[in-house]
Structure 1
Amino acid sequence: MKAVKEIVRALGGAISLCACLLGATPASAESGVVPNAIRLGQSAPLSGPLADLGTEYRDGALAYFKWLNSKGGVHGRRIELVTLDDGYVVERTVDNARKLLDADATFAFFGMFGSANYAALMPLIGERAMPSFAPYTGADELRAKPSPTTFWLRASYGDETEKIVDQLTTLGIDRIAVFYQNDTFGLAGLSGVEKALKKRKLGVLATGVYDKTKNDVGEAVKSIGTADPQAVVMISTYKPTAAFIKQMRLAGRMPQFFALSVVGYKTLQAELGAEAAGIAISQVVPYPWSGATPLVREFEALPKEFLPKAGVTYTTFEGYIAAKVFAEALRRAGPQLTRERLLFALESMRPYDSGGFSVGYGPGDRLGSRFAEVTIVGSGGRLMR
């Protein structure tokens, strides 16, 4: 194991695990793997400002894992997902990760949440050469860091903001402001908008920032409202997003509002009610309703006992997709499961079509998907493409 870790560190993004595997003897007691189970670990916000997102993502993943376990699992092993609540607090995320590694004997991380949270985890992940699949963050700067054992699934915030800016500028809208959270997440989204506009020889009209620990958006409303933008891209969670929209409208400002996928459509709509109509939200997985793809039909057809409590949402669907892709990697890794075999299996998935949503990895390529599209909340509260 020590030799493999040294190879992983030395080669960075271009892992050459094949040579390691050919000369390795399968481990009989890989951490988190027993004859009848594989234990995955997740730290996610089951409380706090992103509780709905964390719960829905976990439950979407569990829906697939439970269904798969009912069919015998992967090579005769059940998949167990241990999720610890971090409340979207960075320090708790790190503490949870250490517990999952040391006390809970976790085979791999799955769906770890938050940009700043994951940034704080990356040194530990590198130190332990720990497989980490589908972190719930789109921060481009994290993708740029060498982390050969991290495999992303969702598109980056740069991909989302590029799609938004492309749509706006195609419509002739170029007075674009940015409302953002004062952390890794917010700065990543702001950078994405700036790069997309610069590509079109444009710049950000105005910015407004808020402290995520206070959610006071008053100053942001003043700075952005004064500039009178045609559109505002919001890099924010649902409560400050809703407060910002309400206060902008009270101030007589009626720009087009665009939010990123992590805002959570259902929670935002619940917070705004009828005022949510007309808000655009970028998405990083396909439309999850109306049998739009084979993958959607598969999700909708799950037995009731496996379906997430929240039902079908973009977030439960993303969790379901992540679980399906990861289970396919476990299948390809074979019955003599080790972390090294899993990493090699993931790296060899180029591409994999899960039923209307394709992901692909390779040597030095950990990005998975760059799919992004823009939806809009209709007058009846339903999302439309």
Structure 2
Amino acid sequence: MKKLRHLLLSSLMLCLGNAIAAGAPEVGVSDNSISIGMTAPLSGPNGSYGVEMREVIEASFRQINSSGGIHGRKLQLVALDDGYETDRAVANTRTLINETKVFALLASYGSSPTTAAMNEVFGPAAVPLIGTISGADSLRQSPKENTNSRYMFNVRTSYANESEAIVKHLTALGLNNIAVFYQNDGFGKSGLDGVTAALKRRNLTPSAQGSVERNSLDVGKAAQAIARANPQVVLMVTLYKPSAEFVRLMKKLGQNPQFFALSPVGADLLVGELGAEARGIGIAQVMPYPWNDATPAVREYQRLLSGDKKPTYYGIEAYLMSKTLLDGLRKSGRDLTREKLIASLESMQNHDLGGYRVSFSASDHSGSSFVDLTVIGSGGRVLH
């Protein structure tokens, strides 16, 4: 018996040694699958944003899987609902990494939720996240400034770049009385900082400010404070429901400034909420025009749409986030690890996703500097 136990132990140690030498499988990776996690609002006031993103990513994965996957592995998406709440986003990220055991993360939503998840969960766990709907500076620090930033790969540009493009355009038209309506969280404050900095470069300051809490439509005090300044322009760093409520209330107060919004507002959703009243609202966009099928990536995205689904900016952004991940996985080869994916992404210099380019390096994960200014025309059509 003693000799048998010795033989069994020796055999076990030999197998263990062989497994180590061969390299243990990476978490979330099997011989035939790769598990990807996502946390976003799938319900509540902002659920439309997350549902749109999830549907496009699932369609993208189905297309890849139908042609054999990535190096023979099929992509699986596990999407959890965080309701655009920071605590839930952090909890979901922890669940995806520690319990679901995903390989990587994709397409998060919101500045405060993503920043908290990065610093508390996926950064310390060394799990990369590709893409989030946020232009916050807190997600664009170099790894030297914040080691957790090494695991955040942005696909869109910053709010600072959006704000600069808007303010440059407005002041060139002689519009200097510019107020700011912002969401009182990481998203809104980052956007407010960007607008304030852009105005300061032109020796200007916001003529008035007003805020709304996340997931709230209580915009009365903000509208009254801003109306007192009689602004030429109100720059809105808010999402579509509070933006629409604010525009309606300002008009009731006899105010008809030029309204301008940052990209997260969602043009189609704002039109759906405001109807004809949305006409004339300007919106900064950080993705290619999703109705222009001359752009290869847009054409590919449009082919994914089924039934009565129409192109949107959120849809094309979700597609380009997915495509960035897929290109990184291809470059990483069959022997896939998280570190190989990070290295592959960091090797993408001026990487063409089909008419939209991203650039990463070991010291900079900003991704893009693309900004386009659009306006809502008659019939809710977005013009650029």
- TM-score, structure 2 length as denominator? 0.90
Let me know the Cα RMSD of the aligned residues: 1.5
Tell me which residue corresponds to 1:66: 62
State the secondary structure of the residue aligned to 1:275. Answer: helix
State how far apart, in whole Å, the 1-side matches of 2:64 and 2:356 are: 19
Q: 2:103 matched to 1:107?
A: yes
Q: 2:353 matched to 1:354?
A: yes
Q: 2:246 matched to 1:247?
A: no
Once the two structures are superposed, the pairs formed by residues 122-161 of structure 1 within 5 Å of their partners are 122-123=118-119, 124-144=121-141, 146=146, 147-161=149-163
State the secondary structure of the residue aligned to 1:245. Answer: helix
Answer yes or no: is the 8 Å Cα contact 1:258–1:280 preserved in 2: yes
The structure that has the greater radius of gyration is 2
Once the two structures are superposed, the pairs formed by residues 244-323 of structure 1 within 5 Å of their partners are 244-302=246-304, 307=306, 310-323=309-322
Q: Deviations over 1:232-268 (max 9, x none)?
A: 1001111110010001011111100011111111211
Answer yes or no: is the 8 Å Cα contact 1:61–1:321 preserved in 2: no
Q: 2:85 matched to 1:89?
A: yes
Once the two structures are superposed, the pairs formed by residues 314-333 of structure 1 within 5 Å of their partners are 314-333=313-332
Answer yes or no: is the 8 Å Cα contact 2:130–2:324 preserved in 1: no
State how far apart, in whole Å, the 1-side matches of 2:22 and 2:138 are: 35
Once the two structures are superposed, the pairs formed by residues 180-259 of structure 1 within 5 Å of their partners are 180-259=182-261
State the secondary structure of the residue aligned to 2:301. Answer: helix
State how far apart, in whole Å, the 1-side matches of 2:308 and 2:65 are: 19
State how far apart, in whole Å, the 1-side matches of 2:45 and 2:233 are: 25
Q: Unmatched 5+ residue regions in structure 1?
A: 1-23
Tell me which residue corresponds to 1:16: none
Which deviates more from structure 2 when the two are superposed, residues 288-297 or residues 68-77?
288-297
Answer yes or no: is the 8 Å Cα contact 2:216–2:242 preserved in 1: no
Q: Unmatched 5+ residue regions in structure 2?
A: 1-19
State how far apart, in whole Å, the 1-side matches of 2:222 and 2:42 are: 28
State how far apart, in whole Å, the 2-side matches of 1:190 and 1:341 are: 37
- CA change 1:250–1:192 in 2 (3 A) is same
Q: Deviations over 1:132-165 (max 9, x none)?
A: 1112211113312521111111111111111111
State how far apart, in whole Å, the 1-side matches of 2:307 and 2:228 are: 43
Answer yes or no: is the 8 Å Cα contact 2:108–2:114 preserved in 1: yes
State how far apart, in whole Å, the 1-side matches of 2:294 and 2:227 are: 39
Answer yes or no: is the 8 Å Cα contact 1:308–1:316 preserved in 2: no
Tell me which residue corresponds to 1:76: 72
- CA change 1:274–1:356 in 2 (3 A) is same
Answer yes or no: is the 8 Å Cα contact 2:115–2:138 preserved in 1: no
State the secondary structure of the residue aligned to 2:124. Answer: helix
State how far apart, in whole Å, the 1-side matches of 2:266 and 2:292 are: 19
Aligned pair count reads 359
Answer yes or no: is the 8 Å Cα contact 1:260–1:282 preserved in 2: yes
Q: 2:376 matched to 1:377?
A: yes
Q: 2:34 matched to 1:35?
A: no
Aligned-residue sequence identity (percent) comes to 46
State how far apart, in whole Å, the 2-side matches of 1:237 and 1:126 are: 27
Q: 1:353 corresponds to which letter in structure 2?
A: D
State how far apart, in whole Å, the 1-side matches of 2:62 and 2:372 are: 30
- CA change 1:273–1:28 in 2 (3 A) is same
Q: 1:277 corresponds to which letter in structure 2?
A: R
Answer yes or no: is the 8 Å Cα contact 2:287–2:371 preserved in 1: yes
How far residue 79 of structure 1 moved from its aligned partner, in angstroms, is 1.0
Answer yes or no: is the 8 Å Cα contact 1:56–1:308 preserved in 2: no
Answer yes or no: is the 8 Å Cα contact 2:155–2:320 preserved in 1: no
